[in-house]
Amino acid sequence: MCKRFFVTGTDTGIGKTVTSALLCAALDAVYWKPIQTGSREGTDRATVMRIASLPCERTIPEAYCFAPPVSPHLAALLAGKRIDLRRIKMPKLSERDNLIAEGAGGVLVPVNEKELMSDLMRQLRLPAMLVARSSLGTINHTLLSIAALRSARIRLDGVVMVGKPNIENRKAIERYGDVQVVGIIPPLHKLNRATLIATFRRYFDKRVFAV
């Protein structure tokens, strides 16, 4: 059975793209970022292709792409456009293709005047993989994000913690969030396909990903 996830985070710059690249490399998955902002500094699609050695044909072009590094609703407004979630459809893939879709910002980031990133996640019917930092403050941010996902009736398949491993923060998130931390990405000196796959093999629960 194929594995497909929507990678979201507790904050912006939290490590969603590295997590997405790692999962693409480990699962030989297709990468898709439906809404991209901050493209003047480069796209996350290009980053994933580079660090995961992912060929272009294993990626899906963005439905919306904006230059300013701001919230999707504001980026669209500045471009004189509006993000219409009805235009964002699940890509046509084979039944065997794994898919990693990456969100912009966190769970409750607005995409237009009425809808949030959680609305896109619910529309695509993909289970969420929540990326959280491992450092101080993560318990509150992670539990709030978990509550938001569950309130929106989005299935949460696990949490990935990024940063120096912190066993107490991990135990608190699992206990109070009633969720499994399925992987850890410690500080990496090199970001390439080999390092990402090695990190997956060492720090991720392979049973969750059926590999």
Active-site residues: which are they?
33
Instruction: For 133, list phi and psi in degrees, rounded to 5.
Output: -75, 160
Alpha carbon distance 76, 64 (integer Å): 9
Assess contact for 52 and 21: CB atoms under 8 A.
yes
Strand, helix or coil for residue 113 = coil
CA neighbor of 172 nearest in space, from 142, 150, 148:
142
Tell me the C-alpha distance between 7 and 23, whole Å.
10
- Give the residue among 16, 32, 25, 43 at the shortest CA–CA distance from 126: 32
CB 112 within 8 A of CB 73: yes
Q: How far is CA 44 from the centre of its chain?
A: 11
